Chain A
Amino acid sequence: MHRLDPRTKLLGSLAFVLAVVLTQPGNWRLFAVYLCVIAGLVWLSRLPLKYVLKRSLVIFPFVVMIAVFVPFFKQGHEAASYDIGAWHIAVTYEGLAVLVNVVVKSWLSILCLIVLSSSTKFEQLLQGMSGLKVPQVFVQITSFMYRYMFVIADQAMRMQMARDSRNFGMKRSNIFRTMGNMIGMLFIRSYERAERIYAAMLSRGYNGEIVAVNKLKFQLPDAYFALALSLLLICPAILWW
C-alpha cells in the first residue's frame, strides 16, 4: 500500500467514497462489503487497528452536530414522544434511519481517508494531485498551508507564553480582548511573512508559473490494486443494488 502510486490511491479513495455516498440508505449488505474492503486495506497497509479507530472518532462530533436533530424533524412513525407543555417532541423511525445512515456513511468515508493519509506521505499526495491535473493553484496552496501550519502554530504558542507570563488576575472581558489582538497580530505577521516568501520566490526566478517536477510512474501493483478495488466495489453493487 505504501508503495502504490499516489494517483492510484487518490482515485481509489475517491471511487470508494463515491460508492459509499451513492449507496441507498439501508442497504446493509453493501455497507458490510465496504467495511470488509476497508478492513482489508487497513490490514494491507499494516496500520495499527487501534490507531485507525481512534482517529476515525474525530468525525463523530461533526456528524452528530449536523444530524442529531434529524430524528426529531423527519415525518413518519413515532418511536417515542414527549410532551413539554404545549410542545410535542417526537422521534421517528424514519428519522433514526437517516441518522444511522449518515453516521455509517461518514464513518466509512473517514476510515478510507485515514488509510489514504496514513499510507501516503503528504508530498506524495501533492504530487499525486498535480499528476491528476488538479489545478496547480490548489496544490500550491495546500503545500504552503502544510509547510507553514507549524511555523504559525509555533508563533501562536510563543505569543501565548508571552501573554501568560505577564497575565495575572486578568478579567474575563480582557482575556477576550487580548485573544482578539493576538489573532489580529498573527494575521498581520502571516501576511508579512507571505510577502517575504513571495520576494524569496521572485528572487529565484518565479514568474507566476509553477513548474512541477513529476517523477510518478504507474506500475504493475497499481493495476492490480485498481482492478481489485473496482471489482470489489462494482460486483456487490450490481448484485445487491
Chain B
Amino acid sequence: MNDKAIEINGLFYVYPDGQSGLTGISLTVYCGESVALIGPNGAGKSTLLLHLNGILRGNGAAVTVLGLPVEDKHIREIRKKVGMVFQDPEDQLFSLNVFEDVAFGPVNMGYPQEEVERRVRQALQKVGMQGYEKRSSHHLSIGEKKRVAIATVLSLDPEILALDEPTGSLDPRGKWALIELLRSLPVTKIIASHDLDLVACLCDRVVILDEGKIVADGKAEEILDNQKLLAGHGLTRITL
C-alpha cells in the first residue's frame, strides 16, 4: 500500500496546435489504490492518462511509474506494467479476430507460442469472454468490445490499469456488469470518467481535473458529497 505506483511532479503538456493541455500536474498514486480522475469534457483527463505509459511526453521525466522514470530505456517495461484501455474499443481492437487482438501485446513482448495462448485464455476468462477467440471484433456488441479491450491489456499482466471512460456509451446493465468486472481485478486502477456511479462504486480516492489543473484531491465520499465543488466543475446538474 505504501509503494508508489505513479508519481507525477509538475507535469506540463502543450498540444501540437499550441493549446495548453496540462499545467503543472503533481499527483502520487499508491499501489493498490483505485483513483478516479473526474472533470468536465476537455479537462485533460485523457491527455493525463496518455502520459502514464509514455505515449505523450510532457516536460522530460516528470512521470515515474513503479520507480521507473518514463524514458525511452524503460518504455518497454513501463508499457507492460501499465495497461491502457482507450475510450473507443474500436481503436483498441484493430486485428481481424479477438484472439489476435488479445495476443498482440504478449506477441510483441516476445513470449513463446504456448505462453501467448495461455495468457489469451486467462485474459478472456477474466473478462468472461472465453469462447470468443475466433469472432471478428467488428461484430461484437459494444459491451463485448469493451470487455475484449480490457482483456487486450490484461494479457500482459499489468500492475496498473489506466481506463478512459470505461462505461461510456454502455446501457445501465452493461455499465454495472463492467463495474463488477473492474471491481474483481486486483490491480491499481486509474479511471478517467464523469460517470459518478462508477466512481462511487469503484474508487476510494477522487481527483478533480479542470482546465489542465488538479482542483481537488481527496477521499471519494468527501468529494462526491461536496455538491458545491462538483457543480463548480460541471459534474452535477445543480449550478450554485
Contacts and interface: CB of A to CB of B under 8 A. Distances in A.
Interface of A: 122-123, 126, 143-144, 146-148, 150-151, 193, 196-197, 199-207, 211, 213
Given A199-B86, A204-B153, A147 B108 contact: no
Nearest to B149: A200
B96 A203 contact: no
A123 B96 CA distance: 7
B45 to A, nearest CB: 15
Interface of B: 50, 53, 55, 76, 79-80, 82-84, 86, 88, 90-92, 94-97, 100, 103-105, 107-110, 113, 116, 137-138, 152-153, 156
Contacts of A211: 107-108, 110
B109 A196 contact: no
Q: Which 9 A-B pairs have the closest CB atoms?
A: A205-B108, A204-B105, A203-B84, A196-B91, A200-B92, A123-B96, A199-B55, A211-B107, A197-B91
Question: Dominant SS at the B interface?
Answer: helix
Question: Dominant SS at the A interface?
Answer: helix
B156 A205 contact: yes
Nearest to B91: A196
Contacts of A197: 91, 94
A83 to B, nearest CB: 58
A205 B79 contact: yes
Given A202-B79, A203-B84, A204-B153, A147 B55 contact: no
Contact of B108 (A123, A144, A207): A207
B79 A203 contact: yes
Contact of B138 (A126, A150, A196): A150
Contacts of B105: 204-205
Contacts of B50: 199
B134 to A, nearest CB: 9
A224 B116 CA distance: 34
